[in-house]
Amino acid sequence: MSKPNKKYIFFTGGVASSLGKGLASASIACLLERRGIKVSMLKMDPYINVDPGTMSPTQHGEVFVTDDGAETDLDLGHYERFTSLTLTKASNFTSGQTYLKVIENERDGKYLGKTVQVVPHITDEIKRRIHLAAEGSEVLLGEIGGTVGDIESLPFIEAIRQFAHDVGPSNVLFIHLVLLPYIGAAGEIKSKPAQHSVKELRSIGLFPNIIICRADREVDDSIRQKLSLFCDVPKDQIFTSIDLDSIYQLPMDFHQQGLDEKITELLGMWTAAPSIDDLKKVIYNYQNPTKQVKIGIVGKYTELIESYKSLDEALHHGAIANQVEFVPVYIDAEEMESQKRTESLLKDVNGILVPGGFGERGTEGKINAIKYARENNLPFFGICLGMQLAIIEFARHVCGIKDATSSEFETPGTPVIDFIDGQSKDVAKGGSMRLGAYNCELKPKSLAREVYGEAMISERHRHRLEVNNDFVSQYEKSGLTISGKNPELDLVELIELEDHPFFVACQYHPEFRSRPFSPHPLFASFILASMGELK
């Protein structure tokens, strides 16, 4: 019996960016996986940066980190949250990485003196990376970032056009996501921009098999009929993705429209109906909260909430697990640099979270928030820089190290937070941090050990500085518990205070491992503590 051909689904977007291609592809992967199909996922980003690691979060949103230490697009977070996948460096690549590899090959003489061109050399490198990402799966779902018509995405569009020819059109499905804007003055949804987007796609050689229409309201059947006529796509292959209360309703919405069934039909894959009981449970808990919890998130990228995407979702997961409504209160750390203002901004929240970040701006406001939480027995959760600032706050106000600071900052003082061996301010910024999964051994009888329920854990990191071990014994004598350490490098990973409802901070990023179907234990416990119900 011959082995069935591997299948490929490619996602493109039109009319406008940020329509939710990542969520759509993740939702479809969620449904296919629940049908027993082994999936893999890939994000292809047309920008020239080698990775998003050096880009401002306000430019590009959150940087997601994989177990193997890749700094990737935030859509990989959606891919992992909606599926059981643990993604790798092969799951995301950029134009920058593609061109860099081709240039390196040219410098090494691998093209035998030929003129190096976009076609075939760049497109061949894109196709090679697609094959690499698909290894070990039955279906690869690949998303091209940006919008059809962007000049930088043309090599990617050409590559997947060639790819369909290489592997056979029966093994490839093209899904195009378009915006259907509602024009208030006309009182109707307009399909013309979507028609033009499909026309643009067809003009460069791609013919979509399925169209998904993004809209802020229900789409009339006549609109689907018009799109079918002008875009040459059967009406039963045109689906909608309207605004929903929660992103976790999207897989169920697609399933109810029959999208996953249509995809398997078009690819010639016959499967059982998906197992969706856990999806139903998540939606039920989200729609039927028993109470509300307000969490103050004290950061410096609050003007773009996408900067904290995984964090925001992990908090929602913790709330869903406890069947409560999570209400985020984003607070600009620079507004908290006076005690009076700190008290005013935090008086109505049930818990405080200080997330990761880089640079000195806003740190004094974050330290004030941490001090407020410690002194007022308000549940506190610090992540990465949030833990480092909790150490600085404790050193200054409990241990008496008045000038405690971090070597990352310009302010001179005692570096209770210092660079990793081999690092300094002068090291190249791109990809030079402690990145990816590292082990952490939890202290017996600590809250962290109780919350995790195991002695050794593995979590993902993205940082350059560490707790300076020279001062650890001083902290412990003053009442701070070092509840987690990396056994190989002897580095502090987790701290907590015993006589406090919940004062926990970690050097790693637990938000990267949280999923709606299995919330991260630290987030679930933090939400429970903020409700006043942590035993």
Tokens representing 435 are 């990145």
CA distance 74 to 332: 22
Contacting residues for 283 by C-beta, under 8 A, at least 6 apart: 246, 248, 249, 252
Tokens representing 398 are 């409990």
DSSP character at residue 190: -
Tokens representing 192 are 């013309």
DSSP character at residue 100: H
Query: Of how many residues is the chain composed?
Result: 535
Catalytic residue (one of 125, 158, 459, 511): 511
Residue 509 falls in the annotated catalytic set: yes
Q: Phi/psi class of residue 115: alpha, beta or left (left: φ > 0; alpha: ψ in -120 to 50)?
A: beta
For the chain, the distance separating the N- and C-terminal CA atoms, rounded to the nearest angstrom, is: 57
> Among residues 502, 495, 444, 491, which one has the least CA distance to residue 469?
491
Tokens representing 229 are 């006529």
CB atoms closer than 10 angstroms to residue 154 = 16
Using CA atoms, how far residue 114 sits from 118, 121, 162, 195, in Å, is 13, 10, 21, 40
Q: Which residues of 313-328 are buried (b: 16+ CB within 10 A; e: fewer)?
A: bbbbbbbbbbebbbeb
Whose tokens are 């292809």? That residue is 44
Residue 511 falls in the annotated catalytic set: yes
Catalytic residue (one of 30, 231, 384, 399): 384
Residue 71 falls in the annotated catalytic set: no
Catalytically active residues are 384, 509, 511
